[in-house]
Structure 1
């Protein structure tokens, strides 16, 4: 932790710094951000504020909901997997900001030959890049192209949903006998040739070649496989500060408080298919729930512990290279590259 504030030298005006050991967002850090947000927008009962967020778990903490309700902040979560369309920062701001930051970094290295950019230089570079990218028209275009303001409910088209067709196809597990029957039907049915036309007196097949291919090699049902493997609840758009949602969060909190306290499992070693030793957690709900450092969720699943920072992540949320002996999260990998480990 930067106790003397050197990491904030040259930062944009009114910036705040909140250290977090794992480097990931959690409820406590977001609560501090919300207080900072309230201080600047100054919402009142006659002039409330609408805050649109994604469905991260840190946005749904009970303390966050109570604070937002008490200070006239209405929080609305977006539907899952829509930030590429509904996030104004993603649509219009981040690209020019990254370009401006790269330009500022290049200029810094030219002014400081044979030196490298350290953690204490980042804030000033961010200030320079932010001043170049934070234009009013960029902010306005961000809300316009996402359909937030002016409100455009037709922002999504049918083309946007085409990739989901792969996971919408239902696949049934059939027996060997059924597969044999399908194979015989496929060969007995006349299939139109791609190079020769059918004779005029020959009837056209009722089963198209496309249907036969689907029978022999059906589309993978990824959604079904995922639902069987995960115990994760389906997310949806919610008014987080509404009374029904707040009541539901309070009931869940009371249910967790009533559970007997158990000592948190410290994890065991297990062998994966890659024959690499990786720390894995057989999860037990204890005094403190474990949040995945990638998705921020606490649902039950196989867990992996980062060898360096000792934080946990769902196995399905991380990518493990075949050459890795132990799992290291992205934050720890970045620190290793910077020589902080």
Structure 2
């Protein structure tokens, strides 16, 4: 039965109440009927419990109670403790970004049941997975679990957000705030986001029963415009800064933009170093900072933010620039935590309204400032800004804002540095080859040359094994493992022993990544000089390649592109020469009648003298195969 509804209130008395009633009957000598009346227990039920328990069992200290109260679940596959361990495993797998799908959970439940050697339905063995009814009932028994749609998270974001990187950022933040002696109003965060001309439509009310419901968008693919936003820890914000995908910027691009907005342009529409320099001027103009009134600017480690010209300008104006750790902005950056999400949502709604108000028209990049203006005031609010600074731990300053669950994403690659003297963390060898079990964490180790699964069992478990419905195929898979597993009788097989969590191999000492960055105060002189040296080295390499090959970077790295450019140039020269020859032919005169070529009749032919290479009408010539004019004949 998928949904069982209880029809009676029988067996609702707790186990502690029943034990207390039995002790009053057995130890104090009271009658069963009077005690049953006092505790609200049926007379025959209390008499049955009293007949099962002796006085010695009640007096002797025992870890487990001597009575089993309530109905027994005859078809239960796993015990309550085993199911709880199974649920905890699924939670941890999801926390480290390696969650299991419903089908994988059912397969894993079958493998777990086979390893535990418990009784399970024969349909499990036929399909080699647990049934759908068991899975739905399992979710009902554990309401803390649910089927969720995961958010795509890159491996870099999952692994770089660790305690070491976060601690380095908060240490730098604390040092800068103590050095500058600034308050929340002087702490700013800047970041960019992309706004396209094709929105993601909002949900609509439509006819029931139809699977395909459409909503008008501007085009199939949109054009991106970058919008840079800066907010402070007191809820203030700087007018947005737009970067348009155009070669040259014009002031009319900002028609309908929020008041005080500024902009720039480049061919790609992304923020580059030259655009960031102009944004720095825009930021200083609106913030009104100086060396007497300094401020702190938090931003990520994007290449455009490492402009030496911009860093020098910001430092001269009293702005200290602190960078986030790489790939950690989704947790540490206030704009990403609480501002950009609502902004994208309101932008999509504003795009829907724009298309309704302009039927039959296509949205262009010049309409984006107007759309951003409609959404900016609703998304970039003091409440959202303050919430972003609070949950990221920047303001109020809280380096312990993240708990252990937040750092579980780096579990897969969080391994110790390589050391030849260290033993494998998964093995605990002892002198007597015994295994010490830890609570809820059994230890697996290799033993012996054979390839059979050896499990120390009690007599009860051995009797239960004979009555199990386990296919020979499932047992064969267990017996064909590469390692022999020895489990102590005091230990239980945990789900992690059946399916260990993924773990990366040991690190290599020879790996060097010069491009990898960390949280740094970019305006400090040592860091600034290091960035300038790296950029100069890159420029020298580019110049050396250009001098060596005698061509630009595109020609060296992409010969096909340079060949296409050469063919286009050659074709252009041919077209120019053809046009010049046609213009000169228009002024040509006939040698015989002196008639111009421009006044020739349609289809009239011209012939060329083989001697002087001059031209004449075919009708004026002698119609010979090789025409020779009268001037050449005289010679």
State how far apart, in whole Å, the 1-side matches of 2:374 and 2:506 are.
44
Q: C-alpha distance in 1, partners of 2:491/2:514? A: 39
Instruction: Answer yes or no: is 1:69 the counterpart of 2:69.
Output: no
Partner of 2:365: 119
- How much does 1:258 deviate? 5.4
**1:80 equivalent among 326, 330, 336:** 326
Instruction: Give SS of 1:154's match.
Output: coil
| 1:241 is the counterpart of 2:528 | no
Gaps of 5+ in 2: 1-245, 419-444, 464-485, 547-552, 562-635
- Residue ranges of structure 1 left out of the alignment (5+ in a row): 173-180, 270-278, 280-341
Deviation at 1:210, TM superposition (A): 7.2
Give the superposition deviation at 1:209: 6.5
Alignment of 1:200-211 (within 5 A): 204=488
Residue matched to 2:352: 106
What is the CA deviation profile of residues 291-311 of structure 1, one whole-angstrom value per residue up to 9, with x for unaligned ones? Answer: xxxxxxxxxxxxxxxxxxxxx
| Whole-angstrom distance in 1 between the partners of 2:449 and 2:494 | 14
Cα distance 1:245–1:192, how it changes in 2: closer, same or farther (>3 A)? farther
| Residue number in structure 1 paired with 2:277 | 31
TM-score by length of 2: 0.36
Tell me how far apart the structure 1 counterparts of residues 366 and 487 of structure 2 sit (CA, whole Å): 78
Q: Distance in 2 between matches of 1:79 and 1:123?
A: 31
* Corresponding residue of 2:232: none
Distance in 2, Cα, partners of 1:203 & 1:142: 49
Please point out which of 251, 269, 272 is paired with 2:533: 251
Q: Quick one: which of 18, 26, 46 aligns to 2:292?
A: 46
Query: How far apart are residue 125 of structure 1 and its match?
Result: 0.9
Relative contact order higher in (CA < 8 Å, ≥ 6 apart): 1
1:158 is matched with 404
Which runs of at least 4 in structure 1 moved beyond 6 Å after TM superposition? 181-184, 205-214
In the alignment, which residue of structure 2 is the partner of 1:5?
251
Assess if the C-alpha contact under 8 Å between 2:249 and 2:264 holds in 1: no
> Equivalents in 1 of 2:325, 2:368: separation in Å?
33
Judged with a 3 Å threshold, the aligned counterparts in structure 2 of structure 1 residues 231 and 185 are, in CA distance, closer, same or farther, namely: farther
Looking at structure 2, the residues matched to 27 and 51 of structure 1 have their Cα atoms a distance apart, in angstroms, of 17
Aligned to 1:313: none
Show CA shifts across 1:20-70 (max 9, x none): 212222211111111110111111222101000111122222212211211
Cα gap change, 1:183/1:13 in structure 2, threshold over 3 Å: closer, same or farther? farther
Change (3 A) 1:253 1:212: closer
Matches within 5 A, 1:136-151: 136-151=382-397
CA–CA distance in structure 2, aligned partners of residues 203 and 114 of structure 1: 72
CA distance in 1 between counterparts of 2:375 and 2:533 reads 45
Q: TM-score, normalised to structure 1's length?
A: 0.63
Secondary structure of the residue aligned to 1:69 is helix
Alignment match of 1:266 (pick from 549, 557, 560): 557
Q: What's the offset of the Cα at 1:218?
A: 8.5
Deviations 1:71-90 (CA, angstroms, capped at 9, x unpaired): 11000011122211111111
**Partner secondary structure for residue 378 of structure 2:** helix
Pick closer, same or farther for the CA change 1:182–1:149 going to 2, 3 Å.
Answer: same
Compared CA separation, residues 183 and 143, structure 1 to 2 (3 A): same
Provide closer, same or farther for how the CA distance between residues 217 and 243 of structure 1 changes in structure 2, counting only shifts above 3 A.
same
Q: Secondary structure at the residue paired with 2:298?
A: strand
1:248, distance to aligned residue in structure 2 (A):
1.7
Q: 1:116 to 1:184 in 2, by over 3 A?
A: farther
* Residue deviations 1:196-243 (CA, integer Å, cap 9, x gap): 7479xx9827999679969x9894527859x96x84543211011112
Tell me if structure 2 keeps the 8 A contact 1:49–1:74: yes
Count of residues in Structure 1 that have an aligned counterpart in Structure 2: 257
Change over 3 Å in CA distance of 1:89–1:253 after alignment to 2 = closer
The secondary structure found in structure 2 opposite 1:168 is coil
